[in-house]
Chain A
């Protein structure tokens, strides 16, 4: 089926080569980082994780959110998702691939990655994170590919696939829960030491992932003959609505706990992020932008009139996605490190090479996504042309 990715319009190839060029530039900067070390980034002794780990954390959520299509379709027999469930599964594949690349980019000794396997330590959450992420990648590749193959041949998917699909549901939850545990179980980082961390992660993921999927579905409709349909997009819109409300509510719970208890360590990171601390606060404008975008998105999504208007919905989804990207891709990680264990403030801001490498990894993700979507959509288009039914 992969050969379907090798034929396409000029626009398709233009996009592919554009992505390859971006990847190329990112790779050149990565080689520099590889030679020089992570000192090329904005990270320091005090803020020892930054943009890379932020992207990893955010994208695990995007990957997990495929479950928001799988559950209604397979568990509740919500037929309308039939056409786009594959888009969710392939988005998950691209997202997990990016997660792994960001981990690689963040490693001080990437050549030693096999040490994770050679000297495993089951007490380390990172060990479990590696297992669930790899498992999830495999599950989605197998499920996505086989349903698509069956679809192309217009036969029902093989029966052995069903248990895997059901397994993928708790598995999706687990990848984001385990990733939240990377942070939630650390003493001395009060910003992360919160039992609600995993719930927060899932809520924000179930908002950001489906929001991205809506945007992608609208793009697919514009550019190809395949129309994912109005109803599934609206159904996804409702999911985004509930999820972003839950996510904002959970954030509010954290703020309450910190500021009503008045325990200095619990307030400090919030103060740094939203108001600045010791006279510095590089992230303050970003965090407020995130807050405003979340509020705007919620207002537009809650109101059925605006949500039903697809252009407004698209705008609200972009707002929600950017808001959650700032919150999780940057604020959550940096906020955990500032102030440092000595109650001193060391700021962090990504450097140019770090940013270019990050964009390069996103470009790889988009490339994987484009190729997988191309295959899936070509099959849909062929069916439309031959007039056969799609599910």
Chain B
């Protein structure tokens, strides 16, 4: 009873924002988890989804900004404008901070300061899933580490466990800080954790991740278990890095750093 009341209040809350929702959107809002498991006939499927970040294709600030803005817009990621409340799904940092174990002052010029885009690695052996006491964070069969915002109790154990700083917590109500509301994706409440979801909602509709779509080839998405997939092809041709591979979480995000001559 209390659950249906809570859901009702939530619905009332959304309606009061004055946004029209289609019936499926409402259904999805309340059953995020169920839909994430739902396979539609036109949905994209894989044994293990993976991403390749080809840093050679990221040249200007605009190249980074475009993917970040696209993701944050379609996922209603709030912008608090301060570090303390910060919530982010995809962002950048410099090589030496992204790969702290690869520090090397004799790297080719510019590599140390080169920025990389960062998001959840959708680890094959994810500590965030292991520690979550409610299974609010879980690993899907296709390798995506997904999260049910409605189940999360906000204990933040997963934030302590993720070695990649991939998770954000809603320290306060995020809704007033969503610059431009994207009605097709649920907004979150205060007190829950969130992160990149490899665009599960788009995969279900047969679309690839949004950041990939706008990356001009800088991001490549595909099935790691399929030798014919684009990700496998590019990984077989270039030397790639994974973040903190020595921790054994087996990230599904690969970084190609150097120019063609390093391949």
Contacts and interface: CB of A to CB of B under 8 A. Distances in A.
B133 interface: yes
Interface string A328-358: 0000000011001111101000000000000
A37 interface: yes
Given A187-B247, A343-B97, A344-B97, A121 B154 contact: no
A103, A120, A341: residue with the most chain B Cβ atoms closer than 10 Å: A341
Given A109-B154, A115-B153, A343-B100, A39 B85 contact: yes
B263 interface: no
A45 B173 CA distance: 15
Contacts of A337: 160
Contacts of B134: 112, 115-116, 118-121
A253 to B, nearest CB: 23
B172 A113 contact: no
A37 B173 contact: yes
Interface string B78-116: 000001111100000100011010000000000000000
Contact of A125 (B131, B159, B165, B173): B131
A contact patch SS: loop
Contacts of A121: 132-135
Contact of A186 (B131, B191, B193): B131
Contact of B170 (A37, A189, A344): A37
A307 to B, nearest CB: 39
Contact of B133 (A38, A108, A124, A341): A124
Contacts of A38: 154, 169, 171-172, 190-191
Interface string B164-192: 11001111110000000000000001111
Interface of B: prevailing SS: loop
Contacts of B132: 121, 124
A48 interface: yes
A263 to B, nearest CB: 10
Contacts of A43: 171
Among B98, B131, B152, max chain A CB count under 10 A is at: B131
Contacts of B98: 342
A354 to B, nearest CB: 12
Nearest to B246: A187
B192 A109 contact: yes
A124 B160 contact: no
A276 interface: no
Interface string B18-40: 00000000000000000000000
- Interface size for chain A: under 10, 10 to 19, 20 to 34, or 35 or more residues? 35 or more
A48 B156 contact: yes
B253 interface: no
Interface in A182-228: 182-183, 186-189
Given A48-B156, A109-B191, A126-B157, A187 B127 contact: yes
Contacts of B136: 115, 119
A188 B251 CA distance: 13
A106 interface: yes
A119 B160 CA distance: 21
Given A126-B131, A187-B248, A187-B249, A48 B84 contact: no
B162 interface: yes
Contacts of A44: 83-86, 171
A36 interface: yes
Contact of A188 (B83, B135, B168, B244): B244
A123 interface: yes
A121 B130 CA distance: 8
Given A126-B131, A346-B83, A108 B152 contact: yes
Contact of A108 (B83, B160, B190): B190
B217 interface: no
Nearest to A333: B160
B135 A107 contact: no
A73 interface: no
Given A120-B133, A130-B133, 16 more contacts: A38-B169, A38-B172, A40-B172, A44-B85, A45-B84, A45-B87, A103-B155, A106-B156, A108-B156, A120-B134, A182-B157, A186-B160, A188-B164, A341-B162, A341-B165, A344-B97
Interface of A: 36-41, 43-46, 48-49, 103, 106-110, 112-113, 115-116, 118-121, 123-127, 130, 182-183, 186-189, 264-265, 336-337, 340-344, 346
15 contacts: A38-B172, A43-B171, A44-B83, A103-B155, A107-B191, A108-B153, A112-B151, A121-B132, A125-B131, A126-B157, A187-B161, A188-B163, A189-B163, A341-B162, A343-B97
